[in-house]
Structure 1
Amino acid sequence: MRSAIENRVSRRKFEKEPITDQEKEKIIFLTNQLNEASGLTMAFMEDGSGAFQKLRKSYGLFTNVRSLILMKGKKEEKDLKEKVGYYGEDLVLAITDLGLGTCWVGGTFDKDELTIDSGEELACVVVVGKVAVPSLTEKMVRSATHRKVKSIAERIISDQPLPQWVQNGMKAVLLAPSAKNTQKAIFKYENNILSAQIADDYSMDLIDLGIAKKHFEIGAGGKFEFGNGRIFHLS
């Protein structure tokens, strides 16, 4: 999984060729596994291109979007958005291992083109596809939207030198995607207790918190409690 963290890049330009039936089956299998573990209702959609056809000039400049994963769950699900980020990033990294490209998408798609049950909430989508060679436009978008990665010191508050396991976790956090690359999730290591929190003043913030927690766990080992400001338990 570590290699997937390092290899994953948000992609907005895809090949016209759809993913194979074998790749589709693997994604559906992985999605079902994670739904069972999480209580979410994430769903693979083979052709969700209609949600992007009216938005070609929007932020992100997506090209040849076809397959999507609907990142959703029951409205009453506790910590829904955080779980979408946490378990969704597990899925994104697994798809990266399949050699496919992905991108988390929060608002630049037409939700009216995507059907979900009335008792569910669609938090966002993940686009999936065969990766095209990056165009000049995509490189420019990536350069404009991916500002300098913040340092570990900018992402964690500590009252003591960081032990190696915390450093390992934070190195993985620095590779985590976040909405508009804001990198807002903040970690604290005080009194030998590590926690993570986010401002939660933007629709994608709690999703980003879940993603960051997942990356920390992969780097450090151990398990986070769900909830904004909750603590981490080292294995």
Structure 2
Amino acid sequence: MTLNQRIDYLEAVEARISRRTYTNEPIAAEKIAFLKDRILAINSESGLTITWLEDGSKAFTAVKSYGMFKNVGSVMVMKGPKSTADLSERIGYYGELLVLEATALGLGTCWVAGTYDKDSDLFSLGPDEILVAVIVVGNVPTEETMKEKLIARTVRRKTLPLQDFYTAEGETPQWFVEGIKAVQKAPSAVNSQRVRFHYAKEGVSASAPGSWATDPIDMGIAKLHFSLAVGGRFAFGTQGRFEKD
């Protein structure tokens, strides 16, 4: 797609897969400029302090990444002030927005919360900032490599059936079901799919167990997918309700 076209987020939801092998082809300058502009806009809206790092390869040595990544170049550094309410959930929500935009530009991406060197001097943090995760972004081979397929088999499990993603009081409207279909395609830590939605006359809510550090990130990602499919906006936090357009 060209940069002057409106991004089709639902198309990107369908197309997105996690990629761990990248080519050495540089990202086109106009695509980098677009994503940097989006980062600035998102930071302004959210209060986050996300940055673009041109070369994050030093944080992905074979030891730190367990050999799961190849040819890592650019990364989006997902961070924000310690005082930010629901910081990790906001990172998930806005980070996934960037992931879908990068996908629409024909780039590969991968959320990374653990298998990289968090203590690398590449990540210059302010005294009140927390590094939550990074998102690898770059050009990728047209097809998944054999190594990617093998890695995928170790971290993926069969996607849960649609009804396992939610509970409901009474009959669910079709718009809610469409939202859950988008949630079903959301990335999550080792494809754990721990976020659950609840439908009631009073509104739609979402929750996650909270026992994993990645749970709030995954909840932010899932809330974004639901919001994009339905049209509307989720409030952040475990008590946050969905407001439909």
Classify the TM-score, shorter chain: over 0.9
Q: How many residue pairs align between the two structures?
A: 234
Q: Counterparts of 2:239 and 2:232 in 1: how far apart (Å)?
A: 16
The answer to whether residue 215 in structure 2 is matched with residue 205 in structure 1 is: yes
Alignment equivalent of 2:50, drawn from 32, 42, 45: 42
Alignment of 1:164-179 (within 5 A): 164-179=174-189
Amino acid at match of 2:140: V
Q: Which residue of 2 aligns with 1:125?
A: 134
Match of 1:144 among 130, 142, 154: 154
- 1:25 maps to 2:33: yes
Alignment CA distance shift 1:210-1:45 (3 Å): same
Is the partner of 2:119 in helix, strand or coil? helix
Q: Which residue of 2 aligns with 1:4?
A: 12
Does the residue aligned with 1:160 lie in a helix, a strand or coil? coil
CA distance in 2, matches of 1:37, 1:230: 18
Q: 1:27 to 1:57 in 2, by over 3 A?
A: closer
Are 2:241 and 1:231 aligned?
Answer: yes
Whole-angstrom distance in 2 between the partners of 1:50 and 1:204: 23
Aligned residues of 2:65 and 2:115 also touching (Cα < 8 A): no
CA RMSD, Structure 1 to Structure 2 (Å): 1.3
Contact 2:113 2:134 in 1 (8 A): yes
Answer whether contact 1:145 1:180 (CA < 8 A) is retained.
yes
Residue identity opposite 2:71 in structure 1: N
Give 1:96's aligned residue. Answer: 103
Residue 96 and residue 57 in structure 1: after superposition, are their counterparts in 2 closer, same or farther (change >3 A)?
Answer: closer
Give 2:190's aligned residue: 180
Query: Shift of residue 74 of structure 1?
Result: 0.6
- Compare 105-114 and 65-74 and name the one that shifted more: 105-114
Q: Hey, what does 2:24 align to over in structure 1? A: 16
Residue 84 of structure 1: which of 88, 91, 95 is its match? 91
1:221 aligns with 2:231: yes
Q: CA deviation at 1:21?
A: 1.8
Secondary structure class of the residue paired with 2:11: helix
Cα separation, 2, equivalents of 1:134 and 1:187:
32
Q: Structure 1 residues 204-213 or 137-146, which shifts more?
A: 137-146
Structure-2 separation of matches of 1:18 and 1:200:
38
Structure 1 residue 105 displacement after superposition: 0.1
Q: Does 1:154 align with 2:161?
A: no
- Alpha-carbon deviations, 1:155-194, whole Å to 9, x = none? 1011212101101110110010001100000001123421
How far apart in 1 are the matches of 2:34 and 2:65? 32
TM-score by length of 1: 0.96
Which secondary structure does the structure 1 equivalent of 2:227 belong to? Answer: helix
Shift of the alpha carbon at 1:128?
A: 0.4
Q: Deviations over 1:51-91 (max 9, x none)?
A: 00243661x71000010000000111111100000111111
State the match for 2:5 in structure 1.
Answer: none
Report the 3-state secondary structure (helix = DSSP H, G, I; strand = E; otherwise coil) of the residue aligned with 2:199.
strand
Deviates more, 1:9-18 or 1:129-138: 129-138
| Unaligned segments of structure 1, at least 5 residues | none
Percentage of identical aligned residues: 41
Match of 2:113 in 1: 106
1:198/1:229 contact within 8 Å kept: no
Indicate if the aligned counterparts of 1:155 and 1:186 stay in contact, CA closer than 8 A. Answer: yes
